[in-house]
Amino acid sequence: MDGTLLDAHGQLPADFAELQELAAHRGCELVPASGRQLATLKEMFPQGETFIAENGSVVMRGGDIIATFPLSEATVHSAREASAAMDVEHTVVLCAPETAYVARDASDAARAEISKYYKAVTWVDDLDAVPDSNIIKIAIFCESGSEAHIYEPIVRAVPEDNVAVSGKVWLDVMARGVDKGAALVKLAELANVPITATVAFGDYLNDLEMLRAAGTAVAMENAHPQLKDLADIIAPPNTDNGVSTVLRQLLRT
């Protein structure tokens, strides 16, 4: 979404509805795949019925949730302990399928970021009071930089799980084997579409597995270098309507 489909102001391309019609005419479906929660994606795409949410931890198809992938309680506990030991300022978001739990003392910067990605939020006085069960993702906001300050200590704490740098100020923890790529493969199987016939767009490291899984990998010009290294196509940046440009080319060939 951010850095890929959305423009510099966080808005959908003006021609997105037209692109959906063009895709449908060609027998294709445009599926939002995001680290955002399902409630947020459903608000952004009110006509949508298929989503990859929470970096693949929640998958909806045809208006029904077909899969959720909770973290083990041991993983949640270890990640929270590692977070508590960090000196750098950060905010933890505990994500359940239906809501996100955040401590009330979150900074203004964290609240502003959280409001972008989580429409269903439960504010709590003490995050330690939230049970470690049924948590599908742990998101950590770090204004100083997620890759530089958060990634290594979290990976050391939960080495068997999927730790993804999902943005300059965000890091996400999902269960082992859970990512956007695995969700894309599952959706392709259910739709009886060869994975070679899929196309994925991305700009950051939480898109890496999805681009690897897709038949055609499209990285934005503004993408992280690792995505550009494996891409089949480099799209113009999100600020220049890159997704629309490439989709029109592909759907008209």
3-state secondary structure 192-226: CCCHHHCEEEECCHHHHHHHHHCCEEEEECCCCHH
- Beta-carbon neighbour count of residue 226 at 10 Å? 14
Task: Give the dihedral of Cα atoms 80, 43, 249, 61; nearest 10 deg.
Answer: 80
- For 153-207, how does the pLDDT look when each residue is reduced to its tens digit (9 = 90+)? 999 999 999 999 988 999 999 999 999 999 999 999 988 999 999 999 999 999 9
- For 195-234, how does the pLDDT look when each residue is reduced to its tens digit (9 = 90+)? 999 999 999 999 999 999 999 999 999 999 999 999 999 9
Q: DSSP 3-state assignment of 79?
A: helix
Q: What is the largest CA-CA distance in the chain?
A: 55
* Rounded distance between C-alpha atoms, residue 129 and residue 166, angstroms: 26
Dihedral angle sign, alpha carbons of residues 229, 172, 188, 252: negative
- Beta-carbon neighbour count of residue 148 at 10 Å? 12
pLDDT at 2 over 90: no
Strand partners, 219: 202, 234
* Rounded distance between C-alpha atoms, residue 230 and residue 118, angstroms: 30
Domains and CATH numbers, the chain: 13-66+177-249 (3.40.50.1000), 71-172 (3.30.1240.10)
pLDDT at 29 over 90: yes
pLDDT at 253 over 80: no
State residue 122's pLDDT score. 97
